[in-house]
Structure 1
Amino acid sequence: MNTFIAFFRGINVGGKNRLPMKELTALLEELGYQSIRTYIQSGNVIFQSRKKQIGKMAKEISVRIGETHGFEPHVILLGTEELQSAMEKNPFPVKNGKALHFFFLDTVPRKPDLEKLHALQTRSEQFHLQDKVFYLHAPDGIGRSKLAAKVEACLGVPVTARNWNTVSQIDSMLRESF
């Protein structure tokens, strides 16, 4: 069995795209996925499958949600090695887990506009792009960050962000369960 982490973009945020985790779990079970565990309501799921084609699996899940809930969230799937690698390659201190953000990318960006990101960066912010992860250290908060708001547009690929605390908790769940 292969273990995957699914990060759903934009579900249960501000009352939009409601998808209770129990319903998401049932939907994933219907698709044949096993050992499903969720973490908080923002769409973080660990599951197992014999399937290996990440792109097809992500699309299958998104389409099924569209059929049952009327919206197709973008789903970024990672293998356990990818999550662990992202954590190991984090270049920033982890003193405040809410200030450190991982933007998981659908694909490696072909022509990222790093100059524009640097222009949007405040003095307190730092960022680093590594393969399919964009790291942002935003000690003044991500909600006020102009840079954070433009990451996807400047990279040119779909992204979804999680803070260090969430990523770390998912990693702990993986270690406990699989």
Structure 2
Amino acid sequence: MSEKIKYISVLRGINVGGKRKILMADLKNMYADLGFTNCISYIQSGNVIFEYQNVANSKLEAKLEDAISEKYGFEVPVIVRSVKEWKQTLKTNPYVGIHENNSLYLSFLNETPKTELTEALSELNYGPDSFQIIDKDVFIYCPGPYHKTKLSNQFFESKLKVKTTTRNWNTVLKLLELIKQE
């Protein structure tokens, strides 16, 4: 068996408005049952840090999505990043230092979208909100309430033809902090 590395998984659309409810303790137990170790969850929106052998993120995503569907009876998109990828994403954010953290968001994409789709989307303007797509990340600046922006998960999924889930920048930073505390 290959060496274990740390990952972070982010689930989309659980525990929102009382729908698609998953208790974090149950989720952590499910991860453990799948062979993941040192599982740590953060807040109720489905953020889990774990260790597992070094495999493709897409394999972990499929494994988790299948397990959630089987256990809970509903589909939940899951996006996985290695800690190394997570740290690189933090370094890449073009808005850090320019805008306040509470106006920044990160949409995680499950794969790098096709160039022609990102180029077409990059030409659109949704001011005062703005975004930049870099590899499998969409960095978002949203000065108003996020729930009012057009730059939602559904927007990016329909335009880029990929799965996505979004976290506020403070949550992204907190997950890295939890990794460093171990």
Q: TM-score, normalised by structure 1?
A: 0.92
Paired position in structure 2 for 1:128: 132
1:107 aligns with 2:106: no
What is the distance in 2 between the residues matched to 1:155 and 1:63?
23
Q: Percent identity?
A: 30
Q: Is the CA contact (8 Å cut-off) linking 2:118 and 2:133 kept in structure 1? A: no
Which of 133, 149, 172 is 2:177 aligned to? Answer: 172
Q: Which residue of 2 aligns with 1:160?
A: 165
SS class of match (2:170): helix
**Runs of 5+ consecutive residues of structure 2 not aligned to the other structure:** none
Counterpart Cα distance in 2 of 1:57 and 1:40: 21
d(CA) in 2 for partners of 1:164, 1:151: 18
Count of residue pairs brought into register by the alignment: 176
Aligned-pair CA distance for 1:120: 4.9
- Once residues 93 and 32 of structure 1 are traced to their aligned partners in structure 2, the CA distance between those partners, rounded to angstroms, is 36
Distance 1:43 1:73 in 2: 10
Who is 1:63 aligned against? 66
Structure 1: state its 5+ residue gaps.
none
Which is further off, 42-51 or 128-137? Answer: 42-51
1:139–1:19 distance in 2 versus 1, CA, 3 Å? same
2:50 maps to which residue? 47
**Distance in 2 separating the partners of 1:16 and 1:117:** 33
CA distance in 2, matches of 1:51, 1:115: 35
Bigger shift: residues 155-164 or 144-153: 144-153
Shift in Å, 1:30:
0.6
Q: Is the 8 A contact 1:98 1:165 kept in 2?
A: yes
| 3-state SS in 2 of match to 1:175 | helix
* RMSD (Å) for aligned C-alpha atoms: 1.6
1:127–1:134 Cα contact (<8 Å) kept? yes
What is the SS of the residue equivalent to 1:121?
coil
Contact persistence 1:9–1:74 (CA under 8 A): yes
